[in-house]
Amino acid sequence: MANPDIQLSAATRANLLSLSRTTDLIGRTQERLATGLRVNSAVDDAISFFQARSLSDRASDLTLLKGDIDQSINAVETAAAGIESIVGIVEQMKGLAISAQSQTTTSARSSAAVQFNDLRDQIDNLSNDASYKGTNIIKGSPANLKVTFSEDGSSTLTISGIKSDASGLSITTAAGNWATQANIDAAVNDLDSALSTLRSTAQTLGSNASVLTLRLDFTKELINQLEDGSAKLVNADLNEESATLLTLQTRQQLGTIGLSIAQQSEQSILRLF
């Protein structure tokens, strides 16, 4: 035989429904305090949830690009440091050539020519060693460096490689072991041209490094703004939620008292019969 339906008075039913709603609200508030999120899933607030996810996804994509930009800056700065070192060697070579101009003996000029050729070899070594993570934009066969700034690939910067070894700078070995003044004068002219090229290259690399640094700073700020925007959409105000929890717990206690009073009133009525 089926159990008869339990009959509840209007007061008891109202108190039970109120307690049930309060308990649900307490559970939701405790979840927000535990996770720090006001919107934990699309069920809580579909619009805010998916807007926040879109912002977070873009921030994640830009974070990956930020790492590439940062590494590209290192590659350009490595190349710039290599250029500065090559400038130092070329200046030594020029000093050696000027010194040789005042030499009167063939043996002295020949000795200077040997030193000149040794320094020329160091230019090639330096240009080959100015590599960062496999990228070298100043060696004999330089690579181009392409840097992407936007997640859709629409914003990029391509840094063209500049051949900066001895051959690329048109610095030849000491002609005729500098036996004649004309040979030395030709070397000095080549070195002056090479220095002009190197200084221009250094300026170009410095400008590119500056652009990359500006884009890196912008990307960092953009990521922060995206993450902040996402947080505003879904994060909970912990102070507000704590106060809400205290209010709900008080309401729950009052509801329990109210239910108890309603039941006592019903029992008192039943005693009359």
3-state secondary structure the chain: CCCCCCCCCHHHHHHHHHHHHHHHHHHHHHHHHHHCECCCCCCCCHHHHHHHHHHHHHHHHHHHHHHHHHHHHHHHHHHHHHHHHHHHHHHHHHHHHHHHHCCCCHHHHHHHHHHHHHHHHHHHHHHHHCCECCECCCCCCCCCEEEECCCCCCCEEEECCCCCCCCCCCCCCCHHHHCCHHHHHHHHHHHHHHHHHHHHHHHHHHHHHHHHHHHHHHHHHHHHHHHHHHHHHHECCHHHHHHHHHHHHHHHHHHHHHHHHHHHHHHHHHCCC
Mean pLDDT value across residues 48-55: 93
Q: What is the pLDDT of residues 89-144, one digit of tens each?
A: 999 999 999 999 998 889 999 999 999 999 999 999 999 999 999 999 999 999 99
6 pLDDT above the threshold of 70: no
Residue type, 26: I
Question: By the 8 A CB rule, do 234 and 5 touch?
Answer: no
Six token digits for residue 270: 């039943």
CA distance 38 to 234: 5
Query: Which of the two residues, 32 and 86, has the higher pLDDT score?
Result: 86
Domains along the chain with CATH numbers: 18-37+237-263 (no CATH), 54-233 (1.20.1330.10)
CA distance 69 to 273: 87
Query: Which of the two residues, 111 and 259, has the higher pLDDT score?
Result: 111
CA distance 201 to 187: 21
267 pLDDT above the threshold of 70: no
What was the pLDDT predicted at 230? Answer: 92
CA distance 73 to 63: 15
Q: What is the pLDDT of residues 141-198, one digit of tens each?
A: 999 999 999 999 999 999 999 999 999 999 999 999 999 999 999 999 999 999 999 9
Q: Is 0.85 topped by the overall pTM?
A: no
Q: Give the chain's length.
A: 273
User: Which among 18, 3, 148, 128 has a CA at the least distance from the CA of 72?
Assistant: 148
How deeply is 216 buried, as exposed, middle or buried, from its count of CB atoms within 10 A (0-12, 13-18, 19+)?
A: buried
270 pLDDT above the threshold of 60: no
Q: What is the pLDDT of residues 198-251, one digit of tens each?
A: 999 999 999 999 999 999 999 999 999 999 999 899 877 778 767 877 777 787
Question: By the 8 A CB rule, do 81 and 97 touch?
Answer: no
Mean pLDDT value across residues 19-34: 75
Phi, psi torsion values for 157, nearest 5 degrees: -140, 125
pLDDT band at residue 263 under the 50/70/90 scheme: low
What was the pLDDT predicted at 265? Answer: 58
271 pLDDT above the threshold of 90: no
